[in-house]
């Protein structure tokens, strides 16, 4: 039985990923900051709720300890929790704004990965999926044929560029864990104001990477169609 922990899984892409993986036979652990929403989401899917705030070291350590006590290990870690950050005139962005986005989108991945590596290393097929974005790709944001080139989201885009590079560097260092990044694409969530394809379509790349076998890829950046340019 594959045990999968997903951060930010009480709604949108995280919830749909959890639903699909439960359907695929995974034991799914729903990670969320809001206890009420997290428990409701987990109960609706037949999953287990584990409270986690990816910006808080103590909360992350407590979540890892909870899973160590109950499941003993995980096979798949999906770092899905993320924030969009402020959207508006660039001259209004502050260092504090950037810090808040990085704290969730990038430092959150580092915190969770650090805390959960001992649990992953008990698996015979350890997998990490980092949810990134085409908005973090130089090639895609500069290509006029791509939807990513139509938006200016400096804080979010910079954080997702960091997520993708962090993914490739972790993949290089962690020889016993497969580490990949997924781009859901423009998905109709609260991030996009309902614009884009369905959440089911958006979750496909995440689910694909969460279900790779022992001979699966590492250090890759994909969407539902395949590998992406950087």
Residues involved in catalysis: 156, 160
Please state at what angle helix 95-105 crosses helix 107-120, rounded to 10 degrees.
Answer: 20
Q: What six digits make up the tokens of 157?
A: 């885009």
Three-state SS at 50: strand
Please state at what angle helix 199-210 crosses helix 12-23, rounded to 10 degrees.
Answer: 60
Supply angle C-alpha 39, 40, 41, rounded to 5. 90
Beta bridge partners of 197: 187
Tell me the helix, strand and coil percentages in the chain, rounded to 5. 45, 15, 40
* Tally of CB atoms within 10 A around 145: 6
* Tally of CB atoms within 10 A around 91: 5
């Amino acid at each position: 039985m594959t045990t999968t922990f997903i951060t930010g899984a009480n709604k949108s892409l995280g919830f749909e990923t959890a639903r699909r993986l439960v359907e695929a036979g995974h034991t799914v652990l729903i990670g969320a900051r809001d206890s009420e929403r997290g428990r409701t989401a987990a109960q609706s899917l037949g999953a287990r709720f584990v409270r986690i705030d990816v910006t808080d070291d103590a909360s992350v350590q407590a979540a890892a300890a909870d899973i160590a006590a109950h499941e003993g290990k995980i096979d798949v870690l999906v770092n899905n929790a993320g924030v969009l950050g402020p959207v508006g005139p660039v001259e209004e962005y502050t260092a504090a704004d950037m810090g808040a986005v990085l704290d969730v989108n990038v430092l959150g991945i580092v915190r969770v990965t650090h805390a959960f590596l001992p649990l992953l290393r008990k698996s015979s097929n350890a997998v990490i999926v980092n949810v990134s974005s085409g908005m973090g790709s130089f090639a895609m944001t500069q290509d006029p044929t791509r939807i990513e080139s139509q938006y200016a989201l400096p804080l979010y885009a910079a954080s997702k560029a960091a997520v993708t590079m962090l993914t490739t560097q972790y993949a290089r260092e962690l020889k016993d864990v497969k580490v990949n990044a997924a781009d859901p694409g423009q998905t109709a969530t609260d991030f996009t104001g309902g614009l884009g394809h369905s959440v089911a379509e958006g979750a496909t790349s995440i689910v694909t990477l969460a279900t790779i076998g022992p001979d699966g890829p590492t250090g890759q950046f994909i969407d539902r169609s395949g590998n992406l340019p950087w």
